[in-house]
């Protein structure tokens, strides 16, 4: 028994929820296509490993500011049904379920903001979702980060805090992720696992002898290395 941690975007999902949400806002007429060009620049910075997450959250959620809570909730529900459920990987559900059946506490941890990410994480039936929290409340999220964002070294901080709160600080831990941005947490856990990794993480996993798996080749997880 221990804790099983899962990255969300491009790990449990066959896509990036932030990018999908940006495209959805264009579809809903909240922003124009120029917004996507700005979003792509932030995404490129994420891939390089030099994303300013505070600037990204400010940009990504600015179009939602001042909108009625019931409108935001309806939009998010439609987003989940039309854009997220189609990219939920069956093998990802199988992986989470297997970890739960083994007695592990299960937790999604993601840099994506909590307004978008929390209901997505709950689709997997995990015990907890740790996302980048926002100022304001759930009905009217601000475009400013509250506390430590769940990004890079911040993921370690958030996990340590969560484990201490849950009385799990001495438990074994594993973390499944696709991204080199998650190297701090991958090095922190007892058992790091690269899942459909980006090239940097792929090379790092090979160098350190970490297991590599895919969730994109059928209904069950498949070990590659």
Active-site residue flag, 198: no
Kindly list the distances between the CA atom of residue 34 and the CA atoms of 29, 38, 50, 54, 82, in Å, as whole numbers in the listed order: 12, 7, 22, 20, 23
In the annotation, is 34 catalytic?
no
Please identify which of the residues 9, 18, 133, 196 carries the catalytic annotation.
Answer: 9
Which residue spans within the chain are E strands per DSSP? 2-6, 105-113, 128-132, 134-137, 140-145, 172-177, 191-195, 212-214, 222-223
Residue 183 near residue 151, CB atoms below 8 Å: no
The DSSP symbol for 88 reads B
Query: What is the b/e burial string over 85-102, where b = at least 16 CB atoms within 10 angstroms of the residue's CB?
Result: eebbbebbbebbeebbee
Q: Are 114 and 132 spatial neighbours (Cβ–Cβ below 8 Å)?
A: yes
Q: What's the Cα-to-Cα distance from 23 to each of 2, 11, 151, 190, rounded to whole Å?
A: 37, 20, 22, 37
Q: Rounded to the nearest 10 degrees, what angle do helices 53-61 and 33-48 cross at?
A: 160
Residues noted as catalytic: 7, 9
């Amino acid at each position: 028994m221990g804790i099983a941690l899962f990255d969300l975007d491009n790990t449990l999902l066959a896509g990036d929820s932030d990018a999908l949400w940006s495209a959805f806002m264009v579809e809903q007429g909240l922003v124009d296509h120029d917004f996507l060009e700005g979003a792509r620049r932030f995404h490129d910075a994420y891939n390089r490993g030099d994303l300013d997450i505070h600037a990204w959250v400010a940009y990504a959620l600015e179009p939602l500011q001042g909108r009625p809570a019931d409108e935001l909730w309806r939009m998010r529900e439609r987003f989940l049904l039309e854009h997220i459920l189609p990219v939920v990987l069956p093998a990802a559900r199988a992986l989470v379920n297997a970890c739960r059946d083994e007695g592990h506490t299960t937790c999604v941890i993601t840099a994506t903001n909590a307004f978008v990410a929390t209901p997505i994480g709950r689709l997997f039936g995990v015990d907890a979702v740790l996302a980048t929290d926002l100022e304001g409340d759930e009905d009217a999220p601000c475009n400013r980060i509250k506390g430590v964002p769940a990004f890079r070294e911040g993921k370690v901080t958030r996990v340590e805090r969560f484990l201490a709160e849950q009385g799990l600080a001495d438990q074994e831990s594993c973390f499944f992720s696709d991204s080199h941005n998650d190297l701090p947490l991958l090095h922190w856990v007892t058992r790091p696992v690269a899942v459909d990794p980006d090239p940097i993480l792929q090379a790092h996993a090979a160098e350190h002898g970490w297991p590599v798996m895919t969730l994109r080749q059928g209904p069950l997880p498949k070990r590659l290395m």
